Amino acid sequence: MINKVLLLARTVKHLKFKQVAYQLYYRLKKTHNLYWFKNKIKAAPVYKPLNFNINYQLADIVQPANTFNFLNLQHSFNKAIDWNYQGYGKLWNYNLQYFNYLHQPDITDEQKQELLVDIGRWLETGKLRLEPYPVALRVMNTIRFISVGDIKNPTIIQDIYAQLAYLNDNLEYHLLGNHLLEDAFALFMGGHFFNMGVWSKTAKAILYKELTEQVLDDGAHFELSPMYHQIIFFRVLELFDWYKNINDDDAFLSFIKQKAADMLGWLQLISFKNGDIPHFNDSAPGITFTTPQLQSFAKQEKIEPNHQLILKGSGYRKFHSQKYECAIDVGAIGPSYQPGHGHADALSFVLYINNEPLIVDTGTSTYQIGSRRSLERATRAHNTVEIGGKDQSEVWGGFRVGNRAKVVIDNESANVLTASHNGYQKSFGTNHQRKFNFAPDIISITDVQSAEGIWAKAYFHFHSNCKVAITAANEAKVEGYASLIFKGATNLILEPYQLANGYNSYLPAFCLSATFENELQTDIILNDQ
């Protein structure tokens, strides 16, 4: 019990006072269903459709017989849809509520309207609880649907207006981060759709403040997840897309365009040449638009990437030759007050050879609290060093972090990167230092830790397409790609693991671990191609 209290204390000490205050406020505040907000509407809301130039379609979410497919999990509702269905967890239910399937072309507009009216009744009666995040995403999807499809359904219009009124009263200041940004994108869109200046003013102030903080000096979104960067970048592009046709504030439009250029610049730096992103920090395929799709949207909006940027503030670095690309995480878990998507993965890396993945992140397949979620955030699930069988940072629950490893970059040049972290100081009195040395055909990695009598393990997770074998006491080969030579290893172990290929989707693959005491040198020697 005492240990749990101390862990909680180590976690909440990083929160902002504003978060704690709003946590208490929202817990004490009386909640209302949608009927309460609709009852305050005195006249039919007047609206003006927005002009969207970026249009897209989504496929295979909703199938016949009330069958829904989210996160690689399919469920059929026998008769009526249970909008509060929790059989696959909260994230699946949230996806049901987002209404992304309004952009699925093989569902008729009449069917889509029936679904919107149905969820409105659940919200109105309280069978489904109003929550800001799904409300925000559903509102944006519905406004786009109404605007593009010229939908004139007074019930849906009134429901959306009432949901925006709820959102305006329940902005997620207790969470901040990407949640508050999504709230603001939705409220700003709704404010212009319904000509509600007070909503637009509130949202614009949030967008100015949060985008200034959340887009770092190298263009990265500050939660340091390439996937969430893609999600927020799309929202910035979408905002620029419809707002440029209104443009009642040149300075704000220029601000949004610059943020889009910076975010595009970072996305192009972190993405591999084949369009993949490294799956650091809760990134997964199949959740949002890909880098090539986002590049196409940006080109359509005549937004050019900021080519002046270099990877810096995000803590990521990228090295490459004609044969390989290597992305490295030498950043802190961030932001300190919202680390929910952070993993215990300091000094981890992802390596592509000839546009194909070789050494990869284990990935993310679930947000459900349990052994799999804990594993995917753990140090041993990443291509870094675990000392004494412990995580370098205290990741726990689904999205919480207690003590965090602090990373220092010791040396950085065109072909060398040396960094260290203190995540094992309290447990074992040692830092972990890792040095990367890049040559055209060889990548050398040197790991050093000073704890006596404490064993360390360096992990290398290979993609499922790789055929890996230990060929000598200090050597392993990856057929067609490379050899790995270990100096200082006392033991090599090759064992199977499940590579997350998306949410609730796995591929069989192999992980190689090298046990050492104080120093390990790993030479990755690329095959002649």
DSSP code of 317?
Answer: E
**Between the CA of residue 51 and those of 241, 243, 289, 301, what are the distances in Å?**
8, 8, 21, 13
Alpha-helix runs per DSSP H in 150-249: 154-169, 177-193, 197-214, 226-243
Give how far the C-alpha of residue 276 lies from the chain's centroid of Cα atoms, to the nearest Å.
14
Tell which residue, 290, 479, 498, 492, has the closest CA to residue 381. 498
DSSP state of 215: B
Taking the C-alpha atoms of residue 410 and residue 345, their distance in angstroms, rounded to an integer, is 18
Q: Are 502 and 424 in contact (CB under 8 A)?
A: no
Percent of the chain with pLDDT over 70: 100
Distance between CA atoms of residues 249 and 246, nearest Å: 9
- Peptide bond connecting 440 to the previous residue in cis, omega within 30 degrees of 0: no
Instruction: Say how far apart CA 436 and CA 416 lie, in whole Å.
Output: 6
Residue 451 in this model has a pLDDT that exceeds 70: yes
β-strand partners of 526: 482
Check whether 174 has a pLDDT greater than 80: yes
Read off the pLDDT band of 69 (50, 70, 90). Answer: very high
Confidence at 244, pLDDT banded by 50, 70, 90: very high
Mean pLDDT for all residues in the chain: 97
Amino acid symbol at 160: I
Pick from 475, 346, 459: nearest CA to 404: 346
Q: Which of 63-72, 221-230, 353-362 has the lowest mean pLDDT?
A: 63-72
In this structure, are residues 83 and 130 in contact, taking their beta carbons and an 8 Å threshold?
A: no
How many other C-beta atoms can be found within 10 angstroms of the C-beta atom of residue 479?
A: 10
Place of tokens 């194909």: 356
pLDDT at 519: 98
Q: 27-60, pLDDT tens digit by residue?
A: 999 999 999 999 999 899 999 999 999 999 998 8
C-beta neighbour count of 133 within 10 angstroms: 19
Structure tokens that stand for 470 in this block:
């230990």
- Could you give the domains of the chain? 14-54+113-300 (1.50.10.100), 316-526 (2.70.98.70)
Evaluated on CA atoms 485, 448, 278, 135, the torsion sign reads: positive
Q: Is the pLDDT of residue 436 over 80?
A: yes
pLDDT digits over 262-305, tens only? 999 999 999 999 999 999 999 999 999 999 999 999 999 999 99
pLDDT bucket at 247, cuts 50 / 70 / 90:
confident
Q: Name the strand (E) or helix (H) holding 19.
A: helix 17-28
Q: What is the pLDDT of residue 529?
A: 63
- Give the residue among 396, 395, 394, 443 at the shortest CA–CA distance from 415: 443
359, HSE (Cβ side, Cα atoms, 13 Å): 26
Of the listed ranges 247-251, 410-414, 420-424, the one predicted with least confidence: 247-251
User: Which tokens sit at 252?
Assistant: 């704000």
3-state secondary structure of 289: coil
DSSP-derived 3-state class of residue 388: coil
Could you give the CA distance from residue 526 to residue 237 in angstroms, rounded to a whole number?
A: 39
Token representation of residue 194: 């319904």
pTM of the model: 0.97
User: Per-residue confidence at 226, pLDDT binned at 50, 70, 90?
Assistant: very high
Secondary structure (DSSP) of 465-524: T--EEEEETTEEEETTTEEEEEES-SEEEEEEEEEE-STT-EEEEEEEEEEESSEEEEEE
Cα distances (angstroms) measured from residue 38 to each of 26, 159, 529: 21, 7, 66
Is the pLDDT at 1 greater than 80, yes or no? no
What digits encode the pLDDT tens for the residues 330-352?
Answer: 999 989 999 999 999 999 999 99
Distance CA 348, CA 327 (A): 9
Give phi and psi for 501, each to the nearest 5.
-105, 25
pLDDT at 209: 99
Residue type, 407: V
pLDDT tens for each residue of 352-403: 999 999 999 999 999 999 999 999 999 999 999 999 999 999 999 999 999 9
* Distant-in-sequence, close-in-space partners of 16: CB < 8 Å, separation ≥ 6: 176, 337
| pLDDT tens-digit readout, 129-163 | 999 999 999 999 999 999 999 999 999 999 999 99
